[in-house]
Structure formats: structure tokens, C-alpha cells
Copies of this chain bind each other. A is one copy, B any other.
Amino acid sequence: MSTTASRESKRRAKNDQELEGKRDSVRFTEIEFIVLCCQYWRKVDDLMEVVECVPNFSTSDPKTVDSILAEIKKIKDAFLLDVTFDSYYNRLVVSFVGNKKSVLQAALNASLRAVELIDMRKHRGQHPRIGAVDIVPFIPIKNVSMEDCIRLAKEFGRTLAEKCKVPVYLYGDASPKNERGDVDWIREGDYEKLEENIVKPERKPDFGPAEFCAKSGATVTGARKVMAGFNVNLGTADLKIAKKIAKALHSKKGGFSNVKAMAAFIPEQNITQIGMSINDFEKTPLYRVFEALKVECARYNIPIIGSEFCGLAPLKALIDTAWYYLKTDNLSQGRVLEIAIQDAIEKGSKPE
């Protein structure tokens, strides 16, 4: 809080200095006034639209991670929210926001750097992947539509393919509603089967050559809603059992329709993890998946020892958790104190 106040003070002091300079010339034109105001308001304007991008890269090498993040940090009006990487998935997940222009630029620059630094021929990891830049989704957050994000994804895909000669597939809302839109289908066989798959007519990429790029693999990009990434740690090192549990939750294998689940072994802790992405946590709330997971674990007498959000936790997911476990009836986003305060200040009015 004090940092914000301190920064605001310095900014105003700097503006005061600019004004002091202007007092020496007694008058100035309305053009100069308009330019100053536009510079101020444009910054406010630029921040009014918010897109999130959550690129996943096939690396967990700290130097490579830093290089990729540096590309995002260089972009004005792109703001890092979260960074996760680990050696057992050997994967880097970044979340950042900005306006349409800054997010596209940051996504491209980070991906170009990743293509330069990552060699898929050496990549081993427990997460399904087909490329150095494995998946790059664009997500509308504020004053941006899904169509905007689809356009961003296509622009991203086209440009990445042109610059790097990497094959790019569209998925999710950016793709027609058939098998080709399903990232599991696109990534079927992983990088290891890509050379064989990419020449099949039905697997012609949406951008770039239908040729195997050994160093970089292929990239998936698209647009989607906010998703919940949720991992649950099990008190067992038995990956075979963990895979059975994951299978029970996965949409295609008899589990919940909005859930993808996989199992991984975490050698540093000698435990297993069920890694899940819940692509519609409003229809399939986390508590429901968690309780089903407990049921499956009970079959094998396996304890759940912890969980974590992969990336950021959507507030709605927390509200639904309280709805179920505390039986709260009247809780919505606007009734969370920190959100209500922010909304009231932003609106600058007196809501009913």
C-alpha cells in the first residue's frame, strides 16, 4: 500500500516539475494541453481492455525460463501474474495480462525466444506436449470478446509459423467444433509421434508447413474461457494406481465432462500427483471433482496430502467451495469484500 502511495507521490512530483518548467513560459497552447491529457488518459484507456495469455513452454531450465520471461517483461502494458515450472513435468506455465496489442507482442516475443532456446529432441517430461511452445491460449478478461481472442490466436499462430517455420494448430474456440479443436486429439502420440502424424491429410496444420520440425515440434494456439488448473498430491508413490485414479476423473474415460486428468510421479517427494484442468469450473465445480477424487482414493486407502492451483485460482471456484463446504447461500463475487471495494471505487458511484 505504501509503495503505491510512494510511487503516486513521485509521479505527481514529476508532473509538478513539468508544470514548474511551464511557468517560465507564461502561456501555452491548447494543443500542448491536449497532448498532455491524452498521454495521461491513454494510459488509463490502454488498461481498460484486459486479455490474459497462459503460454506453456516445454522447459524447466531456470536460465531458459528467465530468458523467456524477460521477453514478456520488456513489453510495456504486459504484466506478469504467475510463473510455475517444475522438473517432473519439465514444463513452464506463464500467466500474463495486458491489452490486445501488448499481449500479442509479448506472446510472440516469448515464443520466438523459446523456439530459439528449446530443443525438443532432448526434452523428456511427464506432461503431454508436442512442441517447445506447446500451447498458447488467449482468454478474454475485461472489455474483450472471445472473437477478439480468436483473432489474436490466429494472428499469433500465423506470425509464429511465418517467422519460425513451426507448424501451428488452432484449438478450442479458435477452431471449428470438431475433433480438430480438441487439444488431446492434436497432441495424440505427443512429440514422439509428430513426425509420423504431421503428414497425414487430416492433421495438416492451420499455419506453417506440414513438415516435422525436429527442434521445435509444433504449437497449439487458441482462445478459451478462464480455466482452473488444479493438482492434488497423493500419499503414494505408486504411479500405476495414480493413473487409475486419474482415469476415473477424465472426461474421455468415464469421468466428469469438463475435466482432463493425468497422473505424474514427483521424485523429489516420492509421491504422485493428479494434475487436472477443469475447463468449466462453473458447471463442474472443484469441490465435486475433489470429492470424487476422495472416493477413488478411498478404494486404495490412499490419503490426499495436499493440493495446489496450477496458475491462478478463479474467485468463483473459491466461492463455490464455500457454497458447498460451509453451505453459504448468499455469496457472489460482488459480496467479497476486496472485490466490492474495488468495484465501488471504479464505478465512482453509489451502488444500491
Chain A residues with a Cβ under 8 A of chain B: 1-5, 7-8, 12, 15, 19, 22-23, 26-30, 33-34, 37, 40-41, 43-45, 47-48, 50, 52, 72-73, 78-83, 95, 97, 141-143, 226, 232, 286-287, 290, 304-309, 312-315, 318-319, 321-322, 324-331, 333, 335-342, 344-352
Contacts and interface: CB of A to CB of B under 8 A. Distances in A.
**Tally of this chain's copies:** 2
Contacts of A327: 232, 304-307
A148 to B, nearest CB: 13
B37 A15 contact: yes
Contact of A318 (B34, B40, B319): B319
Given A73-B350, A351-B80, A143 B337 contact: no
Nearest to A341: B97
A326 B26 contact: no
A290 to B, nearest CB: 5
Nearest to A321: B322
A94 B78 CA distance: 38
B329 A4 contact: no
Contacts of A45: 8
Given A5-B143, A325-B325, A344 B97 contact: yes
B322 A333 contact: no
15 contacts: A27-B29, A79-B349, A81-B337, A82-B335, A83-B352, A97-B341, A97-B345, A142-B341, A307-B328, A307-B329, A308-B328, A313-B336, A313-B337, A315-B336, A318-B322
